[in-house]
Chain A
């Protein structure tokens, strides 16, 4: 017997949000996680029309896209003036705004929410910057546990050609330049992304990540994701 929709019920990581009736959330929450430049958004861009063509309504969302805090974060990062605690909390504000005002209403309406990154990237960035992991996890107790987290994994050497394919090249923040890890963007990028990877890897079991080998060709990854997401959604037909 396939899982009945009525059997599906979301849980929160912690205390959750006030005034949310989990029983009302009929949709599914799917997360694509992984390093900067690993190809997450490419996959999201392919998965969305595929899901829609199969009759599912899809909300796609990602970091710093909130109506409330997205612009503020981008401006602050452009000025390179954020300390690690402020940056972490600004991201949490952005996340909470999208969770409460986009994701939860969409789940209530029965949408598939496909999110490019979730709390894991944010927790990892904070941990790499030396903040207390328990502290960061405590306020992300407001987050819903997703139905699936696909962790697109590749080594740092796999990231470098991807970054250099973009005209902007190495990005200040994606290189962790605020942490003074290396003499230049390249050294810093390598060190920062190595640290990020080790935090991501340490989360695989804790958060039940499904690991996807991101060094494979795009279409192989895509078919792999289609198959796994297809299984997940079969119960929704």
Chain B
């Protein structure tokens, strides 16, 4: 049960609907922090090697209910927190996470899981230093996603909810629901809103200046130079 932490490291996370550009921004942030000489550790949603196979099987065979979908993603994050987030934070590193508990709160509630239950479920999670929410109008994100992708997947399109038989239509409706949930969480969790319709450079500058304010006490570990 971590909650508010007092570890020397910092945790910055990005959230937003698919196509909001959050991953691009996080990766640019990572480049900058590395160049500045910080220890940076990157952790991605749904990437625990331990749980991955179970999640993959559940999705492929479409055997997940809203409840087990929620629980398996919580297991995944728990493994990453215990393995990839807490130890680097203790070591004084900057941990960057692409999606965090708010993704679960938004998606699971959009699937009909009790918002209270899922918030309680994730109580083990450590609180981020800053949680960025990349806010984008639905039409903009849909244009980015649907223009670029070969095919939508069953669960990401929310097909398990029976919103529509057409996968693209279902995806739009589901993303709309998720966006509504994000909007409702801004005040509840003090999310830092970034206007994701601005240029990539503008957004990155804003992100960097917000992050920079949190780094005063964070030690740098530049690559060792030749000693005289």
* Chain A residues near B (Cβ < 8 Å): 14-15, 17-19, 67-69, 71-72, 75-76, 79, 81-86, 88-90, 92-93, 96-97, 100-101, 131-132, 135, 138-139, 141-142
Please tell me if the beta carbons of B124 and A135 are within 8 angstroms of each other in the complex. Answer: yes
Please tell me if the beta carbons of B120 and A86 are within 8 angstroms of each other in the complex. Answer: no
Interface residues of B in 57-116 (CB under 8 A from A): 57-58, 63-68, 71-72, 74-75, 78-79, 81-83, 112-114, 116
Q: Which of B51, B81, B121 contacts A72 (CB 8 A)?
A: B51
8 contacts between A and B (CB under 8 A): A15-B117, A68-B57, A69-B68, A72-B50, A72-B57, A83-B83, A86-B79, A139-B120
Shortest beta-carbon distance from A80 to chain B in Å: 11
Please tell me if the beta carbons of A68 and B83 are within 8 angstroms of each other in the complex. Answer: no
The CA of A124 and the CA of B112, in the complex, are separated in Å by 29
Interface residues of B in 106-154 (CB under 8 A from A): 112-114, 116-117, 120-121, 123-124
Given A135-B120, A138-B120: A69 touches B78 (CB 8 Å cut-off):
no
Residues on A with C-beta less than 8 A from B78 are: 83, 85-86, 88-89
Please tell me if the beta carbons of A68 and B82 are within 8 angstroms of each other in the complex. Answer: no
Interface: B47 (CB within 8 A): no
The CA of A92 and the CA of B69, in the complex, are separated in Å by 12
The CA of A92 and the CA of B71, in the complex, are separated in Å by 7
Residues on B with C-beta less than 8 A from A67 are: 63
Given contacts A15-B114, A86-B78, A89-B121, 19 further A-B contacts (CB under 8 A): A15-B117, A68-B57, A68-B58, A68-B63, A72-B53, A72-B54, A76-B50, A79-B50, A82-B79, A83-B83, A84-B82, A86-B79, A86-B82, A88-B78, A89-B75, A96-B65, A96-B68, A101-B63, A138-B117
Interface: B1 (CB within 8 A): yes
Main secondary structure of the interface of B (DSSP, over half): helix
Please tell me if the beta carbons of A69 and B54 are within 8 angstroms of each other in the complex. Answer: yes
Q: Which 9 A-B pairs have the closest CB atoms?
A: A83-B82, A72-B54, A89-B75, A86-B79, A93-B71, A86-B78, A85-B78, A138-B120, A90-B75
The CA of A71 and the CA of B53, in the complex, are separated in Å by 9
Please tell me if the beta carbons of A96 and B67 are within 8 angstroms of each other in the complex. Answer: yes
Please tell me if the beta carbons of B117 and A93 are within 8 angstroms of each other in the complex. Answer: no
Q: Which of B51, B113, B116 has the most CB of A within 10 A?
A: B51
